[in-house]
Structure formats: C-alpha cells, structure tokens
Amino acid sequence: MNEMATPIRQEREAKLEGMGCRRKRVEDIRFTQGKGNYVDDIKLPGMLFGDFVRSPYAHARVTGIDKTRALAVPGVLAVLTAEDLKGVNLAWMPTLAGDVQMVLADGKVLFQNQEVAFVVAEDRYAAADGIEAVDVEYEELPVLVDPFKSMEADAPLLREDIKDKTTGAHGPRKHPNHIFEWAVGDKELTDAAFAKAEVTIKELISYHRTHPSPLETCQALASFDKVKGELTLWGTFQAPHVVRTVASLLSKIPEHKVHVIAPDIGGGFGNKVGVYPGYVCAVVASIVTGRPVKWVEDRMENLSATSFARDYHMTTEIAATKEGKVTGLRVHVLADHGAFDACADPSKWPAGFFNIVTGSYDFPAAHLVVDGVYTNKAPGGVAYRCSFRVTEAAYCIERAMDVLAQKLGMDAAELRLKNFIRADQFPYHSALGWEYDSGDYHTAMRQAMQAVDYKGLRAEQAAKREAFKRGETRELMGIGVSFFTEIVGAGPSKNCDILGVAMFDSCEIRLHPTGAAIARMGTKSQGQGHETTYAQIIATEIGIPADLIMVEEGNTDTAPYGLGTYGSRSTPVAGAAIAMAARKIRAKAQMIAAYVLEVHEGDLEWDIDGFRVKGLPEKSKSMKDIAWIAYNAPPPGMEPGLEAVSYYDPPNMTYPFGAYICVMDIDVDTGAYTVRRFYALDDCGTRINPMIIEGQVHGGLTEAFAIAMGQEIAYDEMGNVKGASFMDFFIPTAVETPHWETDFTVTPSPHHPIGAKGVGESPNVGGVPAFSNAVNDAFAFLGSTHIQMPHDHWRNWMAAKRLGVHG
Amino acid sequence: MSKSHVQLRINGRDVEGLVEPRTLLIHFIRDHLGLTGSHIGCDTSHCGACTVDLDGKSVKSCTMFAVQAQGAEITTIEGIAAPDGALHALQEGFRMMHGLQCGFCTPGMIMRSYRLLQENPNPTEAEIRYGIAGNLCRCTGYQNIVKAVQYAAAKIGGREFVEAAE
C-alpha cells in the first residue's frame, strides 16, 4: 500500500472539510439562534416607512389623485405620485428585458394592484392609514386577460406609451400588444421532417402562471446622505451589483457613492432578481425626506405585483418514425408577460434559453417560434427556480414525449432510451443551437428504472387498470417519467449580458498571515449555503481548513463585481472563479515554497495542505507556513502578501441532467391523489457537499410538487387576481409534502475547473413534468392525451368526469 | 392614537412598553423589543414564521395584539438556549440534519417544535408532520426538518438517534 492511503493523510484531508464532504452549514449557527440579519431586522435612527396605494382595477385611466386627506393623517409625511417622480425622471424605469415599466401609475393602470402612489410615514401603521386616505379617481377600461386574444384586431390597447412603435427591444412588433417574436432553428428542414413523418403528435401544453413566493417578501431600506451625496441601499437583492449599477444610472448618483447591501435573504427563487417600484420609491423618498425609508412588501403585494413566473402556452409537435425515432420538433409559444415585459433574462434572450426544448433527445431538426404579448396582469415573468425559461422547455418536451409514446403504444421510458443523445455524442450540438458539455443519459435512466423496479410498477399498473375496468377499484395508478437536461451557468459574455453587463462572476481570496482566509464573492446566497460550500472549494484548492475561511457576499463596497445568484449560476460561474482565484494563490505559494525548500518549482508537488518535494515527502511546506512567509519573509523581489482575484467568463454553459420517477394514485370520485413514491436521480457533475445537494433537491421537488398539483396565480375575466394570499395560493405543508428519495450519477463538466454543474434548480425543472406525467399517465388509458396543470383535486375530478368514469 | 401600557415577561426578562392598541404582538416583539429572530412571512396566519411560545402554547404572534399579551410569559427563539449559551437540542438538531436553508422559517419552526416536543416527547414522523403543519417552509421540503425534530426528541429523551434511510 502506498503512502496515499495512510490514516495520517486521511486525517489531514478530513480536517480540511473540502469538496465532497457533508460539511454542516456555518450559516445555521446564527439562523438557529434567531441571529440572522434580514432587511426588515435593520432599524436606523429616524427611519420612515413607505407603503403603496394600489389599483383595484386591472385596466383603468387614472383621472385624479388627491393627497389632501392622506397628508392630514397623523404621521404621514409625504405622498409620491407619478407626477412627483417625473421631476426626477423616474416615473418610468427600464426593465431588465429592454422594456420600460411605470414606477407609479402614469395616467393609467395596467394590472390589478399596480403601484399608484407611495405614502411615507413615521411608522408602518401610519403609512397603512395614509394609503387608505389617498383619493384616486379611476375610469375603467376594457380588460385583456386572455393572451390568445392579445393580438386580435379589436383587442384593447394596453401600452399607449409604445402604441406607434413597430419595433421593440427584440425586433418587429406585429400588433400594439405584441412584444417580440423570437424564432430559432431550421424551419425548412423541420417542415421537411414533418412532411415525411410516419407519426406526428400535436398538443397545446400550457404551463400556468405561478409565483416564486419566498417566505421573506421583497423589501428595501434606502438611506441618502445629503451631505456626502451617498446612497446606501439595503435590500432583498439576488444580484446586488446589478442593483448598484441600475440605481446609479437611474438616480444619477455616481456608482462609487451608491452602496448596495444584500444582507441575509429569506429565499429568492428568482423573485429577487428584478428591480421593483418599491425599491425606486424608497430611494426617492429618502432623497426627498432626508431620512432613511423602509419598504416591506406584504404577502398579497408579493403574490399579485412582483414577479410572476411561467404563463407559457406551448403548441408542440413531434415528428417520428413508427419505430419511435424522433425526426423533428416544432414548437410555438405564446408567452404572456403581463403589462410590462419584466423578465430577468439575459438581454439577447427574450424567451430565455427556451431553445433547450429539444431536451435530452437527438432531434435532427427543430424549429421554435415564441411570441410575447401584453395582458392586463402583473409584469414578469421571472425564472422561478430555473435557468431562464428552462423549466417551461423541460415541461414542454417531457410532456410531449409522453404524448408521442402514447400514440406509438410504446413505454414512456423506452421511448426516451431510444432517443437519448448517446454518451459518445458529447459535446453535442443541438438542432436549436446549444453545445451540451457532457452527459450519460442512458446510464442515469437505467439506474432510475432499476431503483424503482420500473417493470414491476408497470405490471402493477396494468393489473390495477384491469381491476378498475372490472369495477373493483375506483383508484387510478400513474407513473410519471421525466428525464430533463438543464442549461445553467449564464453565461459566456459572448452571448450573455444583463443591460449590457457581461455575465461573468468573481471571487477575491485573501489568505491572512496566520493561514486563515476571507473570500468575497459577486454572488449572493438566499439559502443555498454559499458560506459553507464555497469555503469547501477553497479548502480543497489551497489546503486551508474550511472552518478558517470566511465567505462574504452581498456588500458591493467590498465584494468584487458579479452578476449574482439565479439560474443556478453560482457554482458554474462563481464556483469556477473561486477555483481560479485559489489556483493563483497556490501558484504564488509554490514559488515561495520552492524558494524556502531550495528546489526548483517543478520539483514540488501539491499534497493536500501544502507542497512537498517530489520523491522526498518529508521535505514539505504547509500552506499555513507559506502564508506567514508570504507576508513576512517573501523571496527577494517578490511582492509580499497572498491574495488573488478572479473574474470568470465561462466558455460554455453547464448541462445538469436527471431522471425522475413519480408514482401516484388518484381517486376518480374525489380527485384526491397520493404520491406513493418519488425517486430523483440528479447528475450535477462534481458534488461539493452532498448534504446540501440533497437539501436542494428536497426543496426543489417540493416546489415542483406545489406547482404541478395546485399552485397558480389565476385571474378572472375582470382581471381580478384570484390567488394572492396563502389562503388561496398553494404552499404545501409538511403533511401534503411527499417523501423524497434522492440518488445520483457523476458526469463532470469538461470545461469547468472543478467539473461542477449546479443543482439548485434541477428538481424544479425535472419535478414538474414527473408529477404532471404521472397524472396524465393515470388517465391515459381512458383516452386522454393531455390534461392541463395544475392537477388539483377539482381538476382531477373534472378530468375523470370528462372521461366518463362517473357513470 | 392613544397608547396602552403593556407589561409582559419575555425570555425570562420583564419588559414593558407603550403601544397603540392595534399594534400586533409580532411588531411589539420585533420593533419595540428588538428581538428580530421571529419573522413575518404572510399576514394571514398561514406561514408560522412569527410563532412564539406564549403561556405554554404555540402562538402566531401576527394574529394577536400586543395588548392581548398583557402579563403573558413568552419565549422566542432568542430564549431557548441554556443560560450558559449551550444550544437547545432543536437548535443543534436543525443544524445537524440540515433542517434549514434560508433560515427565515427556522425560528418559528423551532419554536413550534419546542412546544410539540413538550406535548409529545416521542412523536412519530406522521405526528411531527401534523404537528408542524401550521408552519410553512419554502426551502427544505420538510424531510430534514422532520429528522431534526426526531434528533432533538432523541437527545432530550436520552435515546440514541437513528436516522431513517432515504
């Protein structure tokens, strides 16, 4: 046995708590003691509170706003309206998607609960009194709710500000309510594939409007120092540096005088990427009053005004041979963006990365068209726990593959195995333009099928269906198979930017003389555990125990510029920046070690926590010792110190994938369901902390469960939002939430410094189709091809009724 | 608005304050007393992030006025560690079992579990799930929260904790 396996080495390695270790989270020490520091926990001397007057109408002209009564309310200091904001040119603001959005209603309102006026008062209660006393006169206008009617000739005109613009941020507009058309792929080749197809399917697959709804709502605290001309802005920001740049551009305060701080964030899930009217109004109010102003959204405001997600209506066609080999994919998406296009996609991608819609399959031809339209609904839509529009794409293709399997009379898993991109085809160029970095889909799918005894489940299902037909049971059994490929880690600066800011990310590491370190990041955790996992990467890279590494995020004064945390980009982009910065430190450390050990650099090798001379393991220098030397006795001619910064521009995205299987029983007479089993295999490449990965998968699956089985932001025909509180918006409790089984394979990313791909969003992306396919599979033998989500009890009951099983 | 005098005991400390009669207990605890561990997540008494222990019961402190807590004995997340700073078994269990992510629901979740384990010192998984159904978590999917409560139940009861296989 060589020296590599001695216990001493294992002990040294264990002491680091580096990559691969189930390290307990450092964040938990403060969170479990109530010592987190969230925005609403911050209290400044003289702090005021702001609250919004919101529109009760979905579409109306604002004919008058009278502040008189409000200003007489005790404690109310100011009422801001669009007219006031015009003075500082802030009545409108740019969205991240190239559109503009009203900060406060300018002449009309375009969705229910739109911000109309901002009341500033001494405390939250006085602000609430104030908003009740602002008198607003409205003149109702015809309401447009159905996106399929947006581009009709007689549709109500929503956006008067751009009614004459025939070109938008993403090209020509076909109608005043049209935002963009985005086409990708080879139309002729795809049409040809369909022309000679032996089998085709076509289905309208809708992914309903929902909401990320983190437990902490969106909030901000602005403090403008008139003497210094400096603005400090605390907020629930997933991307603090982007907020700083936007705040500087909008307020005209030079960027070095804008200090943005994102303290602890109580969940984000995409909700906290964008810039909202509340942030802008808090800033303006602080400038106007000269006092700090806090804005804290309530839950109803959160669900009805900031950042819905999805609302994609996907007409999907697949061409195939009769043996089940896919030959073409054609998708048309009608995308409902609400009143303003407030997506948080990279600027050049109006439908995000929806062109990952060919999924895990080797489609020789594909063509995609997305039409974005305006309606009288809240603006968005954000990437809710998914890379930009990737969950919509995964749902689309995974549902469509099941529809094809049904038409062919083939098993859903068999059809997938037949069409997977093979391991030897990577790097794989998809028909819609992506280069998939790595994958081994067949292995993952087979491992999943074996783990759940897939054949046994299908046999049980067949028996149960016969029993149902004989009238012996009123329960249907569904098996939902989902195999997803994600595209995360935006992204290469050649094609990814937000408002012109390239989507790199960054890390700065300082190793202190005693061998402890601080790492500062351009990302911002909202619960992902960055303080724990980033330290693990550094520990492995530079041999310093993770417990001696402090990870700091969210303060734009101290952190290097980065694009933040969303789209599973932290590990793929910032994780790479960490490794690159750490390697710069290691390279300098190697020069120092060579000098001290009096050998050539090339004679040294890295050994867990330091360098040793090749062939002479007893001659070594630990990183801890090197740190001291770096500051206090560096080699002649070398600068003292041991620190590095890296800005990482990824060469490609990463492509995590996974195989999920859901087993569900549905009672046809009540529509009630039981998730009997849910198995999730994820391949996120190199695994940094398996405990945190499993936690991310549990949480993402629970959100997927909520979305697929009931969570919806619905509107009535008047544009009243119907699900804007936790009374109506389905958030599963511990009782409804199923038990989760997790598993994994490891296919490292070949272009990432540590081979990691990102995982936080995979379970949401793969989970939704698994649940929906289970429901659809349960009903399929009764003649149904597709039932729209969400699959709540009532809709299940309706499906059963429609299929004639209620007698 | 005229103010009312409130006097109560929180985390073993006698406190008093002048509040408007409409001041919610959670705002009194957070804004007046500066105990910001308890959170607000929903406004409709659904999420349980504001859960505190009041006179031996779990209470959603957004659903009570501060004046209704006159004379009450309240324990919040800041008050469950031992006087010497040793963490409560639940605080330890939540960390050991990865029962939290963003940490926003955690204080309420721990305070509910704190009372649950006094009502039922050795709950089954189903009893834990039912027992914490008034507290919402958006991050964890509850599975590890259940384990965290089991861990704490075992520790408090002097039993060995055996983690269930996935």
| Interface confidence (ipTM) of the complex | 0.98
* Whole-angstrom distance, CA of residue A248 vs CA of residue A764: 35
Mean pLDDT, rounded, for A229-249: 95
Given A385, A389, A399, A416, the catalytic residue: A385
Per-residue confidence (pLDDT) for residue A7, from 0 to 100: 65
pLDDT above 70 as % of chain A = 99
List of chain A residues whose C-beta atoms are within 8 Å of the C-beta of residue B100: 25, 28, 31-32
Cβ of B103 within 8 Å of Cβ of A124? The answer is no
Per-residue confidence (pLDDT) for residue A6, from 0 to 100: 59
Chain B: closest CA distance from residue A306 (Å): 15
For the record, the structure tokens of B64 come out as: 């009570």
Per-residue confidence (pLDDT) for residue A1, from 0 to 100: 38
Active site (annotated) includes residue A238: yes
Chain A: closest CA distance from residue B159 (Å): 22
For the record, the structure tokens of A99 come out as: 């559109």
Per-residue confidence (pLDDT) for residue A807, from 0 to 100: 78
Q: Is the pLDDT of residue B26 over 90?
A: yes
Per-residue confidence (pLDDT) for residue B1, from 0 to 100: 73
Burial of A459 (0-12, 13-18, 19+ CB in 10 A): exposed
Per-residue confidence (pLDDT) for residue A617, from 0 to 100: 86
Q: Is the pLDDT of residue A285 over 50?
A: yes
Closest residue by Cα to residue A743 from A674, A677, A693 = A693
- Is the Cβ of A364 closer than 8 Å to some Cβ of chain B? no
Given A112, A219, A238, A461, the catalytic residue: A238
The full 3-state SS of A143-196, as one line of letters, equals: CCCCHHHCCCCCCCCCCHHHCCCCEECCEECCCCCEEEEEEEECHHHHHHHHHC
> Which secondary-structure segment (H or E) carries A125?
helix A124-132
Instruction: Identify from A28, A32, A265 which residue to disrupt to test chain B contact, counting B C-beta atoms within 10 A and taking the largest count.
Output: A32
Task: Write down the number of H helices and E strands in chain B.
Answer: 5, 5
Cβ of B37 within 8 Å of Cβ of A36? The answer is yes
Give bridge partners of residue B53 from the DSSP assignment: B58, B75
A 296-325 → B contacts, CB under 8 A: 298-300
> Which secondary-structure segment (H or E) carries A209?
strand A199-210
Q: Of B95, B138, B139, which has the smallest distance from its Cβ to A28's Cβ?
A: B95
Q: How many CB atoms lie within 10 A of CB B153?
A: 22
For the record, the structure tokens of A328 come out as: 């073409």
Per-residue confidence (pLDDT) for residue A2, from 0 to 100: 46
Chain A: closest CA distance from residue B15 (Å): 19
For strand A501-502 and strand A505-511, is the pairing parallel, antiparallel, or unpaired?
unpaired
Chain B: closest CA distance from residue A289 (Å): 22
Chain B: closest CA distance from residue A494 (Å): 33
Cβ of B143 within 8 Å of Cβ of A703? The answer is no
- Condensed to tens digits (0 to 9), the pLDDT of residues A360-411 reads 999 999 999 999 999 999 999 999 998 899 999 999 999 999 999 999 999 9
Chain A: closest CA distance from residue B163 (Å): 14
Active site (annotated) includes residue A507: no
For the record, the structure tokens of A212 come out as: 């990320």
List of chain B residues whose C-beta atoms are within 8 Å of the C-beta of residue A731: 46-47, 136, 138
A 696-755 → B contacts, CB under 8 A: 696, 698-703, 725-727, 731, 733-735, 737, 739-742
CA A57 to chain centre: 30
Q: Is the pLDDT of residue A684 over 70?
A: yes
Which strands form A549-553's sheet, in the order they lie side by side? A549-553, A517-521, A505-511, A643-648
Cβ of B102 within 8 Å of Cβ of A216? The answer is yes
- Is the Cβ of A602 closer than 8 Å to some Cβ of chain B? no
Mean pLDDT, rounded, for A287-301: 97
CA distances from A48 to A51, A123, A227, B24 (A): 10, 6, 19, 18
- Condensed to tens digits (0 to 9), the pLDDT of residues B53-103 reads 999 999 999 999 999 999 999 999 999 999 999 999 999 999 999 999 999
Instruction: Identify from B29, B35, B61, B143 which residue to disrupt to test chain A contact, counting A C-beta atoms within 10 A and taking the largest count.
Output: B143
Q: Where are the alpha helices (DSSP H) in A675-726?
A: 690-709
Mean pLDDT, rounded, for A218-227: 97
Q: How many CB atoms lie within 10 A of CB A250?
A: 19
Map tokens 């190793």 to a residue.
Answer: A511
Cβ of A25 within 8 Å of Cβ of B87? The answer is no
A 268-297 → B contacts, CB under 8 A: 269
- Is the Cβ of A33 closer than 8 Å to some Cβ of chain B? yes
Taken as a whole, chain A contains a residue count of 807
Mean pLDDT, rounded, for A39-62: 98
Q: Across all residues in chain A, what is the average pLDDT?
A: 96
- Condensed to tens digits (0 to 9), the pLDDT of residues A570-615 reads 999 999 999 999 999 999 999 999 999 999 999 999 999 999 999 9
Cβ of A32 within 8 Å of Cβ of B101? The answer is no
The full 3-state SS of A712-738, as one line of letters, equals: CCCECCCCCECCCCCCCCCCCCCCCCC
Cβ of A43 within 8 Å of Cβ of B145? The answer is no
- Chains A and B form CB pairs within 8 A to the count of 181
Cβ of B98 within 8 Å of Cβ of A741? The answer is no
Cβ of B47 within 8 Å of Cβ of A215? The answer is yes
Active site (annotated) includes residue A385: yes
- CB distance A149 to A96 below 8 Å: no
For the record, the structure tokens of A435 come out as: 């280069």
pLDDT band at B166 (very low <50, low <70, confident <90, very high): low
Cβ of B104 within 8 Å of Cβ of A726? The answer is no
- Condensed to tens digits (0 to 9), the pLDDT of residues A119-145 reads 999 999 999 999 999 999 999 999 999
Q: Is the pLDDT of residue A277 over 80?
A: yes
Q: Of A31, A725, A731, which has the smallest distance from its Cβ to B106's Cβ?
A: A31
Closest residue by Cα to residue A562 from A249, A242, A243, A254 = A242
> What is the per-residue DSSP string for A482-535?
EEEE--BS---TTT-EETTEE--EEEEEEE-TTS-EEEEES---SSS-HHHHHH
- Condensed to tens digits (0 to 9), the pLDDT of residues A612-644 reads 999 998 999 999 999 999 999 999 999 999 999
Q: Where are the alpha helices (DSSP H) in A172-259?
A: 187-195, 240-251
Per-residue confidence (pLDDT) for residue A501, from 0 to 100: 87
Is it true that the peptide bond before A491 is cis, omega within 30 degrees of 0? yes
Active site (annotated) includes residue A684: no
